[in-house]
Amino acid sequence: MVGQWVLLAYRIPRQPSTLRITIWRKLDRLGVARLGDGLVALPADARSREHLEWLAEEIGELGGSSTIWLAAPGNAAQEKAIAADMRRARVAEYREVIAQVEAAAHARPGERSRAVKRLRAELRRIGRRDYFPPAQRETARQAVRALAQAMEGAE
């Protein structure tokens, strides 16, 4: 089963480096698959295409160049490999949330309350770039829920 992907091929001026870093951070927030230098991909849907089109426009405004492509991997194995790379990146993020929940469990009540709010927001941010949800997503959600419930029970 090979699906369609939206690709962004781009070039950004080397100087000033802050422009490149800004674009890289925005790409990271989107959870793109990095296919090569200046080539990223997301599973094709209206939202991902729109996000990459906005970035393409911004790259042009910064003096760079870019093109948007719709494409399909050559075979299912290639697509699975790309999806696995994207999933691994989200696994690391969910594991970090779980570690933060464990640390917050031993914090003072006010700190725990702030941690719950921050971790819920972090789960939403990760969820926006989680195209191939791993099992750790539900584990992280349950951990944040349990922390919130423990906090409510302590009050």
CA distance 118 to 100: 10
The yes-or-no verdict on residue 78 having pLDDT over 90 is yes
The whole-number pLDDT of residue 66 equals: 97
pLDDT score for 107: 87
Q: Is the pLDDT of residue 155 over 70?
A: no
Please report, for the chain, how many H helices and E strands are present, in that order. Answer: 5, 4
Please tell me the pTM assigned to this model. Answer: 0.86
> Residue 72 and residue 3: Cα distance in Å, rounded?
6
Question: How far apart are the C-alpha atoms of 118 and 113, rounded to whole Å?
Answer: 9
Q: Given this model, what pLDDT does residue 97 score? A: 97
What one-character DSSP code corresponds to residue 112? H
In the numeric block, which tokens belong to residue 112?
Answer: 């725990």
Give pLDDT tens digits for 86-141: 999 999 999 999 999 999 998 888 899 999 999 999 999 999 999 999 999 999 99
* Count of CB atoms situated within 10 Å of the CB of 8: 26
